[in-house]
Amino acid sequence: RPESVNDKRYDYAHDLLQMVLDETQDDDSKSVVKHATLIMNRNRLLLSLKEGKELHVVAEAPKTAWVSELHVVRIPIRKGIQGYRLFFINKQDQSKLSALKSFEEFKAIPTGSGKGWSTTRVLREAGFNVVVGNNYEGLFSMLELGRFKTFGRGINEIEAEYLAQKEAHPNLAIDTELMLHIPLPTYFFISPKRPELAKRIERGLWRLIENGKFEAYFLAHHQALIDKFRLKERRRFSIPNPNLSKADPLDNAELWHKF
């Protein structure tokens, strides 16, 4: 479940999963998506999914343990859009980022990331100077206090998070110059106790792709953000994702958004 009333990260996946279940209810049954009652970190989410009691489905980026221990539907539900990373900064630091001369200078700047997040490993292995925070809300306070200078977020996340956090953190700003690209799918991971649910979700997602509803839903949530943040005009850096494997559909162009 969301970590606070300001945490809107899960709305897109929640509503898409409901669309999937609605699309397949003639084959199975009518079902309603509900958030888990507890806030859980990534490790607790994995344990709860394995138990299959309180939690049955989570939308998450792939990590080795998740892929090996859970059912995974390898259809990137955000078309990889969260892999295009923009950066929260403090307002006074914009000039420093604008003056960067190289990718190596960018990597040397302390950047914030969450404990257990798949992107934390990605950034570290690419040579970034990563400062880890224990919880999502706390990362905004750490940025404000100068514990790190940048805090990367997917373009699907950063606008809503800025609007939710700017009152509590009035010095918060979104960098206007840079973008980091990571091949980063979000998949539905399903409890091993619910193999029939995994099959239903995969069947429903493909139906939504084939009938055009998935693309319409994706664009309704992301096109305005893509236009607003001038993604084609930014300085773009790219790094690999060591969490991915040959099983991930990186070569299936219809499943990914490209700029």
From CA 214, how far away is CA 112, in angstroms rounded?
32
pLDDT tens digit string along 104-142? 999 999 999 999 898 999 999 999 999 999 999 999 999
Residue 99 shares a structural domain with residue 117: yes
Residue 176 shares a structural domain with residue 147: yes
Alpha helices (H) in 126-247, listed in sequence order = 136-144, 158-165, 195-210, 213-228
Range of the domain at 141: 81-181
**What pTM does this model have?**
0.84
Residue 29 shares a structural domain with residue 61: yes
Q: What are phi and psi of 23, to 5 degrees?
A: -65, -25
Would you state the pLDDT for residue 238?
Answer: 96
Residue 137 shares a structural domain with residue 124: yes
Residue 99 shares a structural domain with residue 164: yes
pLDDT tens digit string along 217-249? 999 999 999 899 988 899 999 999 999 999 999
From CA 88, how far away is CA 109, in angstroms rounded?
13
Total domains in the chain come to: 2
- Spans of the chain, pLDDT less than 50: 1-7
Would you state the pLDDT for residue 4?
Answer: 46
